[in-house]
Amino acid sequence: MAACATLSRYLVVAVNVLFFIIGSASVGVGLMVVLDKSRLINSLSQMSLASYAHSVPSLLTNAAYVFLGSGAVIILLSFCGCVGAVKKITPLLIAYGIVVLVLAIFEIGIIAAVSVFSQQLEGTLKEAVKKSLDDHYVGGPLNATLDGAFLLPASNDITHGWDIMQAELGCCGVDGGADYNTTKQWTQKIMYNASGFAIPIRIPATCCQLKSSLDAASIEQRGKSAGRITLVDSSCPATLSSSHYDTGCYSPMKDLVNANGIAILAVSSAVAAVQVFLAVITFVVVHSIRLEMKQPAAIQQT
Protein backbone atom coordinates (compact mmCIF):
# COMPACT_ATOMS: atom_id res chain seq x y z
CA MET A 1 0.00 0.00 0.00
CA ALA A 2 2.81 2.39 0.92
CA ALA A 3 4.62 1.63 -2.34
CA CYS A 4 1.42 2.29 -4.31
CA ALA A 5 0.92 5.63 -2.52
CA THR A 6 4.52 6.67 -3.20
CA LEU A 7 4.21 5.68 -6.85
CA SER A 8 1.00 7.72 -7.14
CA ARG A 9 2.73 10.79 -5.69
CA TYR A 10 5.65 10.43 -8.09
CA LEU A 11 3.22 10.04 -10.98
CA VAL A 12 1.35 13.22 -10.02
CA VAL A 13 4.65 15.10 -9.78
CA ALA A 14 5.95 13.74 -13.11
CA VAL A 15 2.78 14.57 -15.04
CA ASN A 16 2.63 18.06 -13.55
CA VAL A 17 6.28 18.71 -14.35
CA LEU A 18 5.44 17.85 -17.95
CA PHE A 19 2.44 20.20 -17.89
CA PHE A 20 4.61 22.89 -16.29
CA ILE A 21 7.04 22.65 -19.20
CA ILE A 22 4.17 22.82 -21.71
CA GLY A 23 2.69 25.84 -19.92
CA SER A 24 6.07 27.59 -19.80
CA ALA A 25 6.55 26.98 -23.52
CA SER A 26 3.07 28.40 -24.20
CA VAL A 27 3.83 31.53 -22.18
CA GLY A 28 7.19 31.85 -23.92
CA VAL A 29 5.58 31.72 -27.36
CA GLY A 30 2.98 34.28 -26.30
CA LEU A 31 5.60 36.66 -24.94
CA MET A 32 7.73 36.27 -28.05
CA VAL A 33 4.81 37.24 -30.27
CA VAL A 34 3.75 40.19 -28.08
CA LEU A 35 7.26 41.59 -27.66
CA ASP A 36 8.51 40.94 -31.18
CA LYS A 37 5.36 41.02 -33.31
CA SER A 38 6.76 43.39 -35.93
CA ARG A 39 9.73 41.15 -36.71
CA LEU A 40 7.45 38.10 -36.85
CA ILE A 41 5.22 39.86 -39.39
CA ASN A 42 8.29 40.72 -41.45
CA SER A 43 9.30 37.05 -41.38
CA LEU A 44 5.82 35.99 -42.46
CA SER A 45 5.97 38.46 -45.32
CA GLN A 46 8.66 36.28 -46.87
CA MET A 47 6.31 33.28 -46.94
CA SER A 48 3.53 32.44 -49.37
CA LEU A 49 0.86 33.11 -46.72
CA ALA A 50 2.16 36.56 -45.90
CA SER A 51 -1.17 38.19 -46.59
CA TYR A 52 -2.78 36.67 -43.53
CA ALA A 53 -0.42 38.56 -41.23
CA HIS A 54 -0.98 41.83 -43.07
CA SER A 55 -4.72 41.64 -43.66
CA VAL A 56 -5.52 40.47 -40.14
CA PRO A 57 -2.79 41.98 -37.93
CA SER A 58 -4.79 41.49 -34.73
CA LEU A 59 -4.76 37.72 -35.26
CA LEU A 60 -1.21 37.41 -33.96
CA THR A 61 -1.98 39.48 -30.86
CA ASN A 62 -5.14 37.49 -30.08
CA ALA A 63 -3.28 34.21 -30.54
CA ALA A 64 -0.49 35.48 -28.27
CA TYR A 65 -2.97 36.31 -25.50
CA VAL A 66 -4.53 32.85 -25.83
CA PHE A 67 -1.07 31.29 -25.43
CA LEU A 68 -0.29 33.54 -22.46
CA GLY A 69 -3.61 32.90 -20.70
CA SER A 70 -3.71 29.15 -21.22
CA GLY A 71 -0.01 28.83 -20.37
CA ALA A 72 -0.43 30.78 -17.14
CA VAL A 73 -3.36 28.58 -16.06
CA ILE A 74 -1.40 25.40 -16.85
CA ILE A 75 1.64 26.67 -14.91
CA LEU A 76 -0.49 27.57 -11.87
CA LEU A 77 -2.29 24.24 -11.83
CA SER A 78 0.86 22.18 -12.34
CA PHE A 79 2.65 24.15 -9.61
CA CYS A 80 -0.17 23.45 -7.17
CA GLY A 81 -0.14 19.77 -8.10
CA CYS A 82 3.62 19.43 -7.65
CA VAL A 83 3.80 21.35 -4.37
CA GLY A 84 0.78 19.53 -2.97
CA ALA A 85 2.21 16.11 -3.84
CA VAL A 86 5.77 16.81 -2.67
CA LYS A 87 4.81 18.60 0.56
CA LYS A 88 1.77 16.36 1.17
CA ILE A 89 -0.58 19.35 1.51
CA THR A 90 -4.00 17.72 1.29
CA PRO A 91 -6.12 20.93 0.97
CA LEU A 92 -4.01 22.02 -1.99
CA LEU A 93 -4.23 18.58 -3.58
CA ILE A 94 -8.00 18.44 -3.08
CA ALA A 95 -8.45 21.88 -4.69
CA TYR A 96 -6.14 20.85 -7.53
CA GLY A 97 -7.99 17.57 -8.11
CA ILE A 98 -11.39 19.29 -8.12
CA VAL A 99 -10.27 21.97 -10.61
CA VAL A 100 -8.71 19.38 -12.93
CA LEU A 101 -11.83 17.21 -12.74
CA VAL A 102 -14.13 20.18 -13.44
CA LEU A 103 -12.01 21.13 -16.46
CA ALA A 104 -12.16 17.55 -17.72
CA ILE A 105 -15.95 17.41 -17.31
CA PHE A 106 -16.25 20.75 -19.12
CA GLU A 107 -14.13 19.46 -22.01
CA ILE A 108 -16.10 16.20 -22.18
CA GLY A 109 -19.32 18.24 -22.27
CA ILE A 110 -18.05 20.31 -25.19
CA ILE A 111 -16.93 17.17 -27.06
CA ALA A 112 -20.32 15.55 -26.48
CA ALA A 113 -22.19 18.69 -27.56
CA VAL A 114 -20.16 18.99 -30.75
CA SER A 115 -20.77 15.32 -31.53
CA VAL A 116 -24.51 15.37 -30.77
CA PHE A 117 -25.34 18.74 -32.30
CA SER A 118 -22.99 18.53 -35.28
CA GLN A 119 -25.86 18.86 -37.77
CA GLN A 120 -27.23 21.98 -36.06
CA LEU A 121 -23.73 23.44 -35.85
CA GLU A 122 -23.22 22.71 -39.53
CA GLY A 123 -26.40 24.63 -40.38
CA THR A 124 -25.33 27.56 -38.22
CA LEU A 125 -21.88 27.58 -39.81
CA LYS A 126 -23.35 27.58 -43.30
CA GLU A 127 -25.64 30.49 -42.44
CA ALA A 128 -22.68 32.47 -41.08
CA VAL A 129 -20.61 31.74 -44.19
CA LYS A 130 -23.50 32.76 -46.47
CA LYS A 131 -24.04 35.96 -44.48
CA SER A 132 -20.36 36.90 -44.77
CA LEU A 133 -20.61 36.59 -48.55
CA ASP A 134 -23.94 38.42 -48.83
CA ASP A 135 -23.07 41.29 -46.50
CA HIS A 136 -19.32 41.78 -46.87
CA TYR A 137 -18.07 40.60 -50.27
CA VAL A 138 -17.16 43.80 -52.10
CA GLY A 139 -15.38 42.60 -55.22
CA GLY A 140 -15.17 45.58 -57.53
CA PRO A 141 -14.51 46.26 -61.20
CA LEU A 142 -11.86 44.16 -62.95
CA ASN A 143 -9.26 45.82 -65.14
CA ALA A 144 -7.68 43.83 -67.96
CA THR A 145 -4.06 44.44 -68.95
CA LEU A 146 -2.65 44.39 -72.46
CA ASP A 147 -1.15 40.92 -71.91
CA GLY A 148 -4.52 39.39 -70.98
CA ALA A 149 -4.15 39.40 -67.21
CA PHE A 150 -6.52 41.03 -64.73
CA LEU A 151 -5.82 43.41 -61.87
CA LEU A 152 -7.91 42.58 -58.81
CA PRO A 153 -9.10 45.63 -56.86
CA ALA A 154 -8.00 46.28 -53.28
CA SER A 155 -10.66 45.12 -50.84
CA ASN A 156 -11.56 44.19 -47.28
CA ASP A 157 -10.39 41.14 -45.33
CA ILE A 158 -13.53 39.06 -45.88
CA THR A 159 -13.43 39.64 -49.64
CA HIS A 160 -9.76 38.76 -49.62
CA GLY A 161 -10.49 35.56 -47.71
CA TRP A 162 -13.19 34.53 -50.15
CA ASP A 163 -10.90 35.21 -53.11
CA ILE A 164 -8.16 33.06 -51.57
CA MET A 165 -10.58 30.22 -50.81
CA GLN A 166 -12.12 30.26 -54.28
CA ALA A 167 -8.71 30.26 -55.95
CA GLU A 168 -7.21 27.56 -53.71
CA LEU A 169 -10.22 25.21 -53.57
CA GLY A 170 -11.43 25.75 -57.12
CA CYS A 171 -14.95 26.78 -56.11
CA CYS A 172 -17.39 29.68 -56.30
CA GLY A 173 -19.67 31.14 -53.63
CA VAL A 174 -21.25 29.03 -50.90
CA ASP A 175 -23.33 26.67 -53.04
CA GLY A 176 -22.28 27.97 -56.44
CA GLY A 177 -21.85 31.08 -58.54
CA ALA A 178 -25.56 31.93 -58.29
CA ASP A 179 -24.88 33.15 -54.73
CA TYR A 180 -23.32 36.28 -56.22
CA ASN A 181 -26.73 37.33 -57.54
CA THR A 182 -27.76 38.30 -54.00
CA THR A 183 -24.61 39.97 -52.65
CA LYS A 184 -25.38 43.40 -51.20
CA GLN A 185 -21.95 45.04 -51.35
CA TRP A 186 -20.70 43.92 -54.77
CA THR A 187 -22.40 46.58 -56.86
CA GLN A 188 -19.76 47.16 -59.56
CA LYS A 189 -20.15 43.90 -61.48
CA ILE A 190 -18.17 44.97 -64.53
CA MET A 191 -14.78 44.39 -66.10
CA TYR A 192 -12.85 46.71 -68.35
CA ASN A 193 -11.13 45.04 -71.27
CA ALA A 194 -7.76 46.16 -72.62
CA SER A 195 -9.54 48.73 -74.81
CA GLY A 196 -11.33 50.25 -71.83
CA PHE A 197 -14.82 48.99 -72.67
CA ALA A 198 -17.02 48.00 -69.71
CA ILE A 199 -18.48 44.47 -69.84
CA PRO A 200 -21.03 43.15 -67.29
CA ILE A 201 -19.79 40.15 -65.33
CA ARG A 202 -21.64 37.47 -63.33
CA ILE A 203 -18.93 36.09 -61.03
CA PRO A 204 -15.61 37.27 -59.54
CA ALA A 205 -12.44 36.44 -61.45
CA THR A 206 -11.39 34.12 -58.60
CA CYS A 207 -14.33 31.84 -59.52
CA CYS A 208 -12.60 31.20 -62.85
CA GLN A 209 -9.91 28.66 -63.65
CA LEU A 210 -6.48 30.20 -63.16
CA LYS A 211 -3.59 29.51 -65.49
CA SER A 212 -1.19 28.45 -62.74
CA SER A 213 -0.71 28.14 -59.00
CA LEU A 214 1.32 31.34 -59.15
CA ASP A 215 -1.93 33.20 -59.77
CA ALA A 216 -3.39 31.78 -56.54
CA ALA A 217 -0.21 32.86 -54.72
CA SER A 218 -0.63 36.35 -56.17
CA ILE A 219 -4.10 36.54 -54.62
CA GLU A 220 -2.72 35.49 -51.22
CA GLN A 221 0.09 38.02 -51.35
CA ARG A 222 -1.94 40.98 -52.50
CA GLY A 223 -3.17 41.99 -49.04
CA LYS A 224 -5.06 45.26 -49.39
CA SER A 225 -3.41 46.24 -52.67
CA ALA A 226 -4.31 45.08 -56.17
CA GLY A 227 -3.36 41.56 -57.19
CA ARG A 228 -2.65 40.30 -60.70
CA ILE A 229 -3.99 37.02 -62.10
CA THR A 230 -4.28 35.34 -65.50
CA LEU A 231 -7.37 33.29 -66.37
CA VAL A 232 -7.60 30.25 -68.62
CA ASP A 233 -10.39 32.12 -70.46
CA SER A 234 -10.33 35.90 -70.13
CA SER A 235 -14.07 36.08 -70.87
CA CYS A 236 -14.90 33.79 -67.93
CA PRO A 237 -16.32 36.39 -65.48
CA ALA A 238 -18.88 37.39 -68.12
CA THR A 239 -19.55 34.12 -69.97
CA LEU A 240 -18.83 31.56 -67.19
CA SER A 241 -16.57 29.70 -69.62
CA SER A 242 -13.85 27.68 -67.79
CA SER A 243 -15.33 28.64 -64.42
CA HIS A 244 -16.21 26.89 -61.15
CA TYR A 245 -19.75 28.29 -61.31
CA ASP A 246 -21.45 25.01 -60.36
CA THR A 247 -19.01 24.11 -57.57
CA GLY A 248 -19.76 25.74 -54.22
CA CYS A 249 -17.08 26.33 -51.60
CA TYR A 250 -19.07 25.03 -48.65
CA SER A 251 -18.60 21.32 -49.37
CA PRO A 252 -14.78 21.40 -49.72
CA MET A 253 -14.59 23.80 -46.77
CA LYS A 254 -16.74 21.43 -44.67
CA ASP A 255 -14.51 18.50 -45.65
CA LEU A 256 -11.46 20.51 -44.56
CA VAL A 257 -13.08 21.43 -41.24
CA ASN A 258 -14.22 17.83 -40.64
CA ALA A 259 -10.74 16.46 -41.34
CA ASN A 260 -9.17 18.86 -38.84
CA GLY A 261 -12.12 18.53 -36.46
CA ILE A 262 -11.62 14.78 -36.07
CA ALA A 263 -7.99 15.35 -35.10
CA ILE A 264 -8.97 18.11 -32.65
CA LEU A 265 -11.68 15.93 -31.07
CA ALA A 266 -9.22 13.03 -30.74
CA VAL A 267 -6.62 15.22 -29.03
CA SER A 268 -9.25 16.84 -26.79
CA SER A 269 -10.60 13.43 -25.78
CA ALA A 270 -7.08 12.23 -24.94
CA VAL A 271 -6.41 15.35 -22.85
CA ALA A 272 -9.71 14.95 -21.00
CA ALA A 273 -8.91 11.28 -20.30
CA VAL A 274 -5.49 12.24 -18.91
CA GLN A 275 -7.13 14.90 -16.71
CA VAL A 276 -9.66 12.43 -15.30
CA PHE A 277 -6.86 9.94 -14.62
CA LEU A 278 -4.79 12.67 -12.98
CA ALA A 279 -7.71 13.75 -10.77
CA VAL A 280 -8.30 10.14 -9.65
CA ILE A 281 -4.61 9.64 -8.87
CA THR A 282 -4.59 12.93 -6.95
CA PHE A 283 -7.49 11.79 -4.75
CA VAL A 284 -5.69 8.47 -4.21
CA VAL A 285 -2.65 10.44 -3.00
CA VAL A 286 -4.88 12.51 -0.68
CA HIS A 287 -6.35 9.32 0.78
CA SER A 288 -2.89 7.79 1.31
CA ILE A 289 -1.61 10.95 3.02
CA ARG A 290 -4.58 10.91 5.39
CA LEU A 291 -3.89 7.26 6.22
CA GLU A 292 -0.25 8.12 6.98
CA MET A 293 -1.40 10.90 9.30
CA LYS A 294 -3.73 8.53 11.15
CA GLN A 295 -1.12 5.82 11.72
CA PRO A 296 1.10 7.79 14.19
CA ALA A 297 -2.00 8.83 16.11
CA ALA A 298 -3.15 5.21 16.32
CA ILE A 299 0.30 4.10 17.52
CA GLN A 300 0.34 6.78 20.24
CA GLN A 301 -3.10 5.69 21.50
CA THR A 302 -1.90 2.10 21.85
pLDDT single digits (tens) 241-262: 999 999 999 998 888 777 777 7
What pLDDT shows up at residue 260? Answer: 77
Give CA–CA dist 164/170, Å, rounded: 10
Structure confidence by residue, pLDDT tens digits, 182-233: 899 888 788 887 777 888 999 998 899 988 765 555 565 555 445 678 888 9
pTM greater than the 0.75 cutoff: no
**Alpha-carbon distance 298 to 26, whole Å?**
47
Q: Note whether 222 and 152 are within 8 A (CB).
A: yes
The whole-number pLDDT of residue 297 equals 52
Mean per-residue pLDDT, 37-62: 54
Please report the pLDDT score of residue 225 as a whole number.
Answer: 44
Q: Do the strands 150-152 and 227-229 form a parallel or antiparallel pair, or are they unpaired?
A: antiparallel
**Rounded Cα distance, 67 and 272, in Å:** 19
CB 184 within 8 A of CB 135: yes
Of the two residues 9 and 121, the one the predictor is more confident about is 9
pLDDT band at 46 (very low <50, low <70, confident <90, very high): very low
| Mean pLDDT value across the chain | 82
Residues making up the chain, counted from first to last: 302
Closest of 237, 49, 243, 238 to residue 161, by C-alpha: 49
Rounded alpha-carbon distances, angstroms, from residue 186 to 74, 198, 218: 46, 16, 21
Q: Residue 281 has what pLDDT?
A: 93
Report the DSSP beta bridge partners of residue 198. 192
Residue 98, C-beta contacts closer than 8 angstroms, at least 6 positions apart: 279
List pLDDT tens digits, range 143-156: 877 777 887 777 78
| Crossing angle between the packed helical segments 250-301 and 58-87, to the nearest 10 degrees | 20
- The pLDDT of residue 52 is 43
Dump pLDDT digits (tens) for 78-130.
Answer: 999 999 999 999 999 999 999 999 999 999 998 888 778 777 777 788 888 89
Q: Contact, 18 vs 281, CB < 8 A?
A: no
Q: What's the confidence (pLDDT) of residue 47?
A: 43
Percent of the chain topping pLDDT 90 = 38
